Structure 1
């Protein structure tokens, strides 16, 4: 996050990597542990059909592209990295030099096709024939400017595919059913979860925006970099992106508590079929973020589904003793929290208490990677310019 930067600044991948052994440092503290809050004070309302009429016409006008088509046309090459200096380092990759050093675009959330479909019988977790890492980004209109749009990056993670990735612009449908268009989504996209065909993107003050990964639209390139949506000629441009992903609906957050939730990051818990969220707050001194203890809340999907019910009540809510939290993950009643400011990863279970581990600077979201044949992993990433590593560590290094 731009304000946060002022506060601080195995897998079948085909990239050759060098590793560095780092010893995990941990401390246990019963005093520094989450406490329970009334979960029923947090609810969601879901609308998966808000843009049905607009999207139907956009689809018939522009046509859709499946994942294989998108990745066959991937235009960027991922790069090798060494260990970012954390214990349990397993694997990872970097973006190309322009993306690694761009002062207007910042990576934030992380999820994967393994979140979407599970590990599968072949332990590959492929969606549309590809094993993918998905990273969300926000874009500013100038270096240290205002947020102007958001996007995702799909990264091939199969040894049988090239080391490539593709950028897809996130857009909100506008206009009318007879003359549909779309516009930019200027959100932070601080967290992202892929479950089935649905992509859930954190919308800081509101909850989540929902997209369908089967609805990727083809757009025209060749326009100017500031052109977005339907032009007078009937051509559709998207800042020269060849593909856009239109929003299909919204997941709105509500609370009876005195403070509304700040949706800073989210993560999928496949075991319980839920999304967990966490707030970025400060102990004191912040002007753009709350100065209070943060919360983490769990919202369950409908039983056996990858969608939320029309109304959903949280099943777990926690008051947290840590601050500047950019990432969260949960699996089998265990929790992990990433503090970018403290450069620490916190692990907690109700049974064993909390533990603190050394972590990376500029750390962002976390995604749990289930593995049927090797150790489970925690995937994360760094937003720091010039050091935007996307990396995985063995989960057992950070809590049993």
Structure 2
């Protein structure tokens, strides 16, 4: 049984409006993706690099289970505004007014507890059905990337409409003197599988976190204080909880051009993570000027971890640009282009199709549902319009 909270009045109005809209016009693109040699792309996985320091941090600080974090959730999510509409809209929310308009923090990746555990027990992880969003933080409005975090949002009729922020940190120091530091990455994509959280690290691959090892830290201090202070006092920019990195997934290619890990998503059917690159057709200085790629990497058999070495099982050259989001499920692919306000759909047998989409769109996550329509979750990063929403995947070519 689905436990999605019923829409509030504003969100209901948006859903009704979207339901009245004609399904977005789909036009077959001139060309679709083409296959690349998958053997050119490999991953190297290390889940134990930080074991000694993490054990010391756990012993010193103690851990908080996900249900404890949510029992102490201290932000209120709000309804989608009635002005928001997109074809196939099913449900969604906004962050509170401060997070919606914050010019120093930007939401990027999205995953859910349905990714983590599937549809069993309505997708509950540690008793909660959750939407998880990754963010990057600048050192002031218009500044450089300074750190990254996640937001855990309750999406369950049993619990309040609350969310909690958790800082992502990298362990440092030694087992005798454990510490941690900020992780200043874009966090453009995120996938939750079992107990592990995989976060895209643009130029390298992915960083891995263990949702069973959320650490309790000391609040207070100043916004700039991070890590060990004195005795057993550890500050984290006034965050009460931090999630330390436990592993690293490093990508390599023999194709001559390393992958840019702009976005990732979990495919529960094939038990793999898919990634896509953000590139420009021409004229960019901050991003590659070339056709992007999408690559699928399978997990180890029967596991929620990658083998020590993994070879890609599928690789595609894409004809589309400015791709902020990717999703795949049962042989179907979706790609979100923020620059074009398009959602591209493709299967190897049916070919490509293009749909109208939202502006400033970010990552995608496929939501399996045993009793209702399957959904695609997505979000917008633009300050003032940070809508987190789900649409019926069949509206966008999924059938």
Q: What's the TM-score bracket when you normalise by the shorter of the two chains?
A: over 0.9
SS of corresponding position for 2:152: strand
Which TM-score applies when normalising by structure 1? 0.96
* Counterpart in the other structure of 1:179: 177
Q: 1:354 Cα deviation (Å)?
A: 0.5
Q: Does 1:338 align with 2:330?
A: no
2:275 and 2:294 in contact (8 A); partners too: yes
* Counterpart in the other structure of 2:61: 62
Q: 1:142 Cα deviation (Å)?
A: 1.3
2:27 and 2:355 in contact (8 A); partners too: no
Q: 1:114 Cα deviation (Å)?
A: 0.5
Q: 1:139 Cα deviation (Å)?
A: 0.1
SS of corresponding position for 1:27: coil
Q: 1:222 Cα deviation (Å)?
A: 1.1
Using the alignment, how far apart are the partners of 1:30 and 1:200 within structure 2? Answer: 32
Matches within 5 A, 1:81-96: 81=80, 82=82, 84-96=84-96
Using the alignment, how far apart are the partners of 2:83 and 2:110 within structure 1? Answer: 18
2:61 and 2:232 in contact (8 A); partners too: no
1:24 and 1:357 in contact (8 A); partners too: no
Q: 1:215 Cα deviation (Å)?
A: 0.2
SS of corresponding position for 1:56: helix
Q: 1:14 Cα deviation (Å)?
A: 4.9
SS of corresponding position for 2:163: strand
Q: 1:32 Cα deviation (Å)?
A: 2.2
Which of 258, 261, 264 does residue 263 from structure 1 map onto?
261
Q: Deviations over 1:224-263 (max 9, x none)?
A: 1110000134410000000000000100000001210000
Q: 1:205 Cα deviation (Å)?
A: 0.2
Runs of 4+ in 1 over 2 A off after TM superposition: 21-32, 82-85
Using the alignment, how far apart are the partners of 1:14 and 1:173 within structure 2? Answer: 40
1:11 and 1:91 in contact (8 A); partners too: no
Using the alignment, how far apart are the partners of 2:95 and 2:87 within structure 1? Answer: 22
Which of 146, 149, 152 does residue 150 from structure 2 map onto?
152
* Counterpart in the other structure of 1:29: 28
Using the alignment, how far apart are the partners of 1:244 and 1:30 within structure 2? Answer: 44
Using the alignment, how far apart are the partners of 1:89 and 1:64 within structure 2? Answer: 38
Q: CA RMSD in A?
A: 1.0
Which TM-score applies when normalising by structure 2? 0.96
Using the alignment, how far apart are the partners of 2:88 and 2:139 within structure 1? Answer: 37
Which of 13, 18, 22 does residue 5 from structure 2 map onto?
13
1:43 and 1:311 in contact (8 A); partners too: yes
Q: 1:85 Cα deviation (Å)?
A: 2.2
SS of corresponding position for 1:29: coil
Q: 1:30 Cα deviation (Å)?
A: 5.4
Using the alignment, how far apart are the partners of 2:385 and 2:144 within structure 1? Answer: 22
Which of 367, 371, 385 does residue 383 from structure 2 map onto?
385
Q: 1:83 Cα deviation (Å)?
A: 6.5
Matches within 5 A, 1:156-235: 156-235=154-233
1:28 and 1:353 in contact (8 A); partners too: no
Which of 349, 356, 359 does residue 357 from structure 2 map onto?
359
* Counterpart in the other structure of 2:141: 143
* Counterpart in the other structure of 2:291: 293
SS of corresponding position for 2:249: strand
Task: Summarize the Cα distance change of 1:355–1:79 in structure 2 as closer, same or farther, 3 Å threshold.
Answer: same
1:328 and 1:365 in contact (8 A); partners too: yes
Using the alignment, how far apart are the partners of 1:15 and 1:178 within structure 2? Answer: 50
* Counterpart in the other structure of 2:50: 51
Worse overlay, 14-23 or 307-316: 14-23
The number of equivalent residue pairs is 389
SS of corresponding position for 1:360: coil
Q: Deviations over 1:158-182 (max 9, x none)?
A: 0110000000000000011101000
Q: 1:191 Cα deviation (Å)?
A: 0.1
Q: Mind listing any 5+ residue stretches in structure 1 that lack a counterpart?
A: 1-9
* Counterpart in the other structure of 1:328: 326
2:29 and 2:354 in contact (8 A); partners too: no
* Counterpart in the other structure of 1:112: 112
2:50 and 2:245 in contact (8 A); partners too: yes
Q: Mind listing any 5+ residue stretches in structure 2 that lack a counterpart?
A: none
Using the alignment, how far apart are the partners of 1:15 and 1:86 within structure 2? Answer: 15
SS of corresponding position for 1:158: coil
Using the alignment, how far apart are the partners of 1:83 and 1:259 within structure 2? Answer: 43
